[in-house]
Structure 1
Amino acid sequence: MSLQNKKAIVTGASKGIGLAISKALLNEGVSVAGWSRSKPDYNHANFHHVAADLANEEEVEKAFWVSQDMLGKDIHFLINNAGLGYRGAIEEMPIEKWKQLFDINVHGLFYVTKRIVPEMKRMQEGHIINIASGAGSNGIPNMVAYCGTKHAVVGISHSMHAELRNDGIKVSCLSPGSVYSDFEKNMGVEKSDKNKMMPEDIASAVIHALNTSQNFHYVDMEVRPLQPNKKS
């Protein structure tokens, strides 16, 4: 399947995995609306930054209409990548942090997807890729909220697949293991010395999934570093 001249929305596009996915799509000839609170240090004729806080449904609504003004109504791909993490004991976790993770990782995904699905149903085609995590199937000590949100993303993805497949809409759940990014730094932990995947590796998996034929798609994709304990 050629991706040339298709249109995509990528959330969490300011850096890391989201920016890598945006660049990979652009290389395939896709026009991209990259949603994030901060603008990435990146320019491309077919990359359009859209400012949005996914925890705020009104901002999501505005971002959706801005994206349609930039790209047109036919949005072929939605990559729900935006996410936050937090590390700490459950009894010490601030309530506002718990709510923030669910607001971004779960409610934000819902707010965006709810607005894209009617357009994809009208087209009778589309592909939604939800970026989950290995934490979506494995519990991790001191990461209760993050694991909970990613378990939710996995369940939501499976239900969306069953609900939307007869409308020609693909739904894939991509669950990466360890990736080099600012994720750990943002959680306030020291950088791990594990051998991790690169954001570009995750982007290549997204492109591979989008390139499948119309009657074939991945429901679940788990990707891991081959030798996580190998010293680089």
Structure 2
Amino acid sequence: MAGRSFVVVGGTSGLGLAVARALAAEHRVAVLGDVATEVAAVRGELGCDGGVCDVASYAEVRDSFGWFAERYGTIHGVADCASVWAGGDLLDLAPERIRRAVEVNVLGTTYVCREALRQFHRQGFGNLVYVGAMAVVKARPGIPVYRATKSYGASLVESLAEAQHSNRVKVMQLHPGPMPTRLQERVGAEFLDTVYAMPDQVAPEVVRLLQLSPDHVYVSGEVVLRADGRW
């Protein structure tokens, strides 16, 4: 399994960074983030590749995947960890915040899935892991827009998994609960459960899914893993 190539979207902080760290010791890793200084910092820390990409822009997602595919030849797995928080009562949310959540959590997820699957179909295999949220499973007050946008991602991934007709191209998802991350800092302590998992505790499960072999069957679309600290 050594020497494989992986792309971690949203790999500059939180769970995405933990996944990139776990992979970088043995594999070629490329991280995508929307802040140039953060991408540069992760590249320096991990010795990996990276690129600045706003996933809300299809052209940027397409060009980033094209560059990595040309550099690596094969992309064995893609972890989609990019997410924008939009907490608060709908009446209190600024339209700009609502729009950005939809751009990243809905359009961005769609664009990443599209380009990942395009590459996997070219090469005949590959693993796509979408990082959702426990909010999809359990409604909570104060997060209607965030939950709705993450529910879109879960629905998309379920449909895409069914559409592949082959376990050689695997589409999977994992739904973490609240974790002490930069996103959680923006959320506020009231949304952090008393029992929770740390990013480096959830990352190994994402890495395990990314590294499943093409011949590993009964995985794509069959298993939705939930990690909320209660395992």
TM-score between the two structures when normalised by the length of structure 1: 0.87
Q: What is the rounded CA distance, in whole Å, between the counterparts of 2:218 and 2:47 in structure 1?
A: 28
- 1:36 partnered with 2:33: yes
Q: What is the rounded CA distance, in whole Å, between the counterparts of 1:195 and 1:204 in structure 2?
A: 19
The match for 1:230 is none
Task: Give the count of matched residue pairs.
Answer: 222
Amino acid across the alignment from 1:14 = T
Give 1:68 shift: 2.6
Identity %: 21
Give 1:167 shift: 6.5
Matches within 5 A, 1:131-170: 131-166=131-166, 168-170=168-170
Backbone CA RMSD of aligned residues: 2.1
Indicate which of 222, 225, 228 corresponds to 1:224. 228
Amino acid across the alignment from 2:224 = D
Q: What is the rounded CA distance, in whole Å, between the counterparts of 2:201 and 2:165 in structure 1?
A: 27
Give 1:77 shift: 0.4
Partner SS, residue 166 of structure 1 = coil
Q: What is the rounded CA distance, in whole Å, between the counterparts of 1:209 and 1:96 in structure 2?
A: 35
The match for 1:57 is 58
The match for 1:103 is 103
**CA 193–215 in structure 1, closer or farther in 2 if over 3 Å, else same:** closer
Give 1:94 shift: 1.5
The match for 1:215 is 217
Give 1:211 shift: 4.0
TM-score between the two structures when normalised by the length of structure 2: 0.88
Between Structure 1 and Structure 2, the one with more helix by share is 2
For structure 1, the residue ranges without an aligned partner over 5 or more in a row are: 228-232
Amino acid across the alignment from 1:36 = G
The match for 1:173 is 173
Q: What is the rounded CA distance, in whole Å, between the counterparts of 1:119 and 1:211 in structure 2?
A: 16
The match for 1:120 is 120
**CA 193–173 in structure 1, closer or farther in 2 if over 3 Å, else same:** closer
Q: Is the 8 A contact 1:9 1:32 kept in 2?
A: yes
Partner SS, residue 6 of structure 2 = strand
**CA 63–212 in structure 1, closer or farther in 2 if over 3 Å, else same:** closer
